[in-house]
Amino acid sequence: AFISSFHYLILLNHRLVHERLPDVISFSCAQLHPVTHFNHLKKQPKCQANELLSSIIKIYRELRQMKHLLSSTRKAFLVSKVCHRESESLQRVLSCGNIIESLSTAYQICPSGQIHEIWEFFDAWTLEITRRGGTTNDDAAGSNERDSSTELSFCVQMFIIFIRNVRTNKQNSTEIRTFSEKTMASSVATLLGNDISIESISARCDYFLRQGLNLCGWLVDIHTRACFWIENFHVSYHGSYSLLSQDSSENKNFDVLAYLQNVVDMVLASDHYLDWKNSYLKKYWKSASDDDSQRQMEDAQIPLHLRASLQRLALHRIHQLHSMIYYSKRDEYEQIEKEDENPSVASNLLVKEAKMLVNFSVYLASFPTDRSSSCI
């Protein structure tokens, strides 16, 4: 009855619940029925909470007030804590296909002028949660740490939904490219930390690191889409579209590209990868037994909680390399036509890296992953 009343009120006049929107969102999420298949929405039992949240998104999309809706969603975590509701209840939104579809539509038709404020909102939210979680003392670790990890997962996945659905074009490409590079130097850098060496991540189960890799992969995706529209864009292998490798003096403490390459080199050089390749790749990539898979992955020093994140990052990097190889080849042909004595061969390095990443991705796909690390 409460949900139905809220629904009628907001359809009648959204200002009636505008100031209490965080409370409405928190209460509605606690009543949600997860809907996981877009094609079977009509077969699912009707849920008033789903319909209410979908209507809220539609109304604020039409009002061009998505920033207020997102801010209210952020405040809903505090409301849930005050009302003694589980913070995990807000995660149910990410399992409801109709709500995700409504959010996707809102971002796809979002005016270019609002992209900046929404991007800044997610960037600041991610940064605030990460810093808060990193300063939690041992006495307050327990429930506060669990709430922070839940909120961080929700924030990153909502950020990814936004990134996936933002449409790049010739007018906003330079701006979006700047946004993605700024987020890499702020939120992602804080999530990954100062030490992301292979030795450090093998010895710990870092939830922030996993979320940082997930967000990094989709930033690579939108950065690649933005660079597509930029004319005469210079491709640098070490600069990696000026995104993955940080060459400035302010960001020498992390290098995601070098980290990914080190992991790939380590895995592909291992005896376990060679055994897997000889035994299974030649037999149409048939999977090994679960016991063998688990043993090989542990010996290869790929933590279970990072497999899916690393695979996604590798696939996004392959997509980026596809564009980089094209532009590098084009520059090389122009140099040959000009009879340059020392033509560039940067494309050879890019092709080599792409082949290694493909092998690495196929290898990881053959083994079980942590389902809790799934990302939209």
Contacts of 349 (CB under 8 A, 6+ apart): 237
**Backbone torsion region of residue 6, taken as left when φ is above 0, otherwise alpha when ψ lies between -120 and 50, otherwise beta:** alpha
pLDDT at residue 57, as a whole number: 94
Share of the chain above pLDDT 70, in %: 71
Structure confidence by residue, pLDDT tens digits, 91-111: 888 888 889 999 999 999 998
Average pLDDT over residues 245-270: 71
pTM of the model: 0.82
**Amino acid identity of 119?**
W
pLDDT band at 271 (very low <50, low <70, confident <90, very high): confident
